[in-house]
A and B are shown apart, each in its own frame.
Chain A
């Protein structure tokens, strides 16, 4: 299942619920890994709807590339209005109404079926820009971020584009979007391990349960970091104990962390003691993934 079976680990940082501290953990984990293995860490912001990692990492972005999808363009002089394209399209992204041919690019998945079925070759596929990938570095940490254009609804092509920048020779941290639907799955799929960041509330728990189920379904082992520990109840702890899911770290409820985050400071910049804690989490994950690879099995 590994993205880079012969290379370094890829670890996704996800959560069902939004605002639990994914980016807080992802950025500081990357910094902690870089401190122990200088020049060996990469962070990729896969929350392309609302990317935030750059606000904390302040990277120097040196390269930029458009993310494009293919959409149909119809030559109305050649088109016979036969409607084969509209019948082939499962997304209602192309319609023939009397003499008019309407295309709805926002609905188009870019599969190419319409162009294939057109009996008179009136359809050409042209590129349409839906987002941007930017890359560079924050100190020695390789940095990649993607942005979905506002008004475009399909994040998947942009997520795929940023994940194409995963480097085999680096330890990669993927900062996932919230939820458990396609954008989160697209991010987590293929990772060696997924850290689920949650908060100890009924909402945090419910969304965590969905995220655990999703990780299991896509075959990525997961563990939990509880953020704002001590603020709610013990439901998350009890669930993790019952399910045999390891709680990797607990970050306490602390107004100073919220204040530092609001200024765009990373956790380890504000409280350097977390650097070693997070490095320990990384080593532990490395051991678990290695143990699983050699068939010793990991819960």
Chain B
């Protein structure tokens, strides 16, 4: 926790429940904030905000084993110790290589060494809605919680430098390293869910993860009217755990239209969904004290 700014992460467990729709709208409503797109292997928030890049750089991610074919005497020690089936005397499988370097240790000819590979690019940008940090993972590159941590660090640098009071983070679906790195050490995790059996199942798992990190949690139920029984179940689940449901948004096909137009929903329409998001935002402001 940092005294000079507060951080909100939006996650969901299940993908496609409306994280970026909510966060894109918060970006349009909130004052004095920095934005961070931390869904690094399917980044979308930045596309909604039409960023102008100010600074960027390579993200050097995992290492892979590289062999000097001249020096190699085909002993095969590397192949015997590698637990990831990533190396044979003939070839290194770059996708399978975990970067552990065990092969470099056992090679009697010292014919193997590790090299870092660029896995993606980080960006600092300005947008009409405020400064933005984001990243793009190269297709086929290794995912990395570390890239998320780097984007968050860039956002924090901007917040400190420009005296911003808030960082809004768009997280990834799932509960693995990419989602986890966006949840650790924030002031609030907002779970955007939907009243489907999958939505509930996945919300419960990400809620366990959020609790594991001791982060306060809130919920928005999107498409709440597609299944009233399940929405009631979500309400009960939250009530039992003292989690506030900030808004229940109705199913509305114009949400997709706003996305297709590439503008935050609250700037595209002012129907029940937009109003619900505004209401949720005023609750968040109060809870975070911004």
Which A residues between 107 and 129 are near B, CB-CB below 8 angstroms?
A: 109-113, 116-117
Contact in complex: B173, A150 (CB < 8 Å): no
* A145-164 contact mask (Cβ, 8 Å, vs B): 1 or 0: 00010110111000000000
Contact in complex: B44, A203 (CB < 8 Å): yes
Segment of A96-104, A135-143, A226-234 in the binding face: A226-234
Q: Find the B residue at minimum CB distance from A153.
A: B177
Residues on A with C-beta less than 8 A from B176 are 49, 148, 153-155, 183
Contact in complex: B139, A90 (CB < 8 Å): no
* B172-213 contact mask (Cβ, 8 Å, vs A): 1 or 0: 111111111000000000000011111101100110110010
Docked pose: A200 CA to B14 CA in angstroms: 19
Q: How far is the CB of B94 from chain A (nearest CB, A)?
A: 10
Q: A210-B41, A258-B226 are in contact. Are A88 and B81 (CB under 8 A)?
A: no
Residues on B with C-beta less than 8 A from A181 are 40-41, 137, 141-144, 178
Docked pose: A17 CA to B144 CA in angstroms: 17
B215 is an interface residue with CB less than 8 A from chain A? no
* A257-273 contact mask (Cβ, 8 Å, vs B): 1 or 0: 01101111000000000
A55 is an interface residue with CB less than 8 A from chain B? yes
Q: Find the B residue at minimum CB distance from A182.
A: B143
Q: Find the B residue at minimum CB distance from A47.
A: B174
Contact in complex: B226, A183 (CB < 8 Å): no
Contact in complex: A49, B174 (CB < 8 Å): yes
Q: Find the A residue at minimum CB distance from B136.
A: A210
Q: Find the A residue at minimum CB distance from B256.
A: A231
Residues on A with C-beta less than 8 A from B230 are 262-263
Docked pose: A187 CA to B233 CA in angstroms: 32
Q: Find the A residue at minimum CB distance from B44.
A: A203
Segment of B1-9, B99-107, B121-129, B265-273 in the binding face: B99-107
B90 is an interface residue with CB less than 8 A from chain A? no
Q: A202-B260, A203-B259 are in contact. Are A50 and B100 (CB under 8 A)?
A: no
The count of A-to-B residue pairs whose CB atoms sit within 8 angstroms is: 200
Tell me what chain B mostly uses at the interface: helix, strand, loop, or mixed.
loop
Residues on A with C-beta less than 8 A from B202 are 50, 52
Q: How far is the CB of B262 from chain A (nearest CB, A)?
A: 6
Among A112, A155, A217, A253, contact of B256 (Cβ-Cβ < 8 Å): A253
Docked pose: A150 CA to B202 CA in angstroms: 11
Among B20, B139, B205, contact of A217 (Cβ-Cβ < 8 Å): B139
Contact in complex: B47, A206 (CB < 8 Å): yes
Contact in complex: A180, B42 (CB < 8 Å): yes
Q: Find the A residue at minimum CB distance from B19.
A: A18
Residues on B with C-beta less than 8 A from A116 are 81, 102, 105-106
Docked pose: A264 CA to B96 CA in angstroms: 35
Having A50-B13, A213-B139, A263-B196, one finds 16 other A-B pairs with CB under 8 Å, namely: A19-B14, A19-B16, A50-B173, A88-B101, A154-B176, A177-B174, A182-B142, A183-B143, A203-B44, A210-B42, A231-B256, A231-B260, A232-B259, A255-B251, A258-B223, A262-B230
Q: Which residues of chain A have a CB within 8 Å of any CB of chain B?
A: 16-20, 23, 47, 49-50, 52, 55-56, 88, 90-91, 109-113, 116-117, 148, 150-151, 153-155, 177-185, 189, 199-203, 206-207, 210-211, 213-214, 217-218, 228, 231-233, 253, 255, 258-259, 261-264
The 5 closest A-B pairs by CB, nearest first: A18-B15, A19-B16, A181-B143, A213-B139, A111-B100
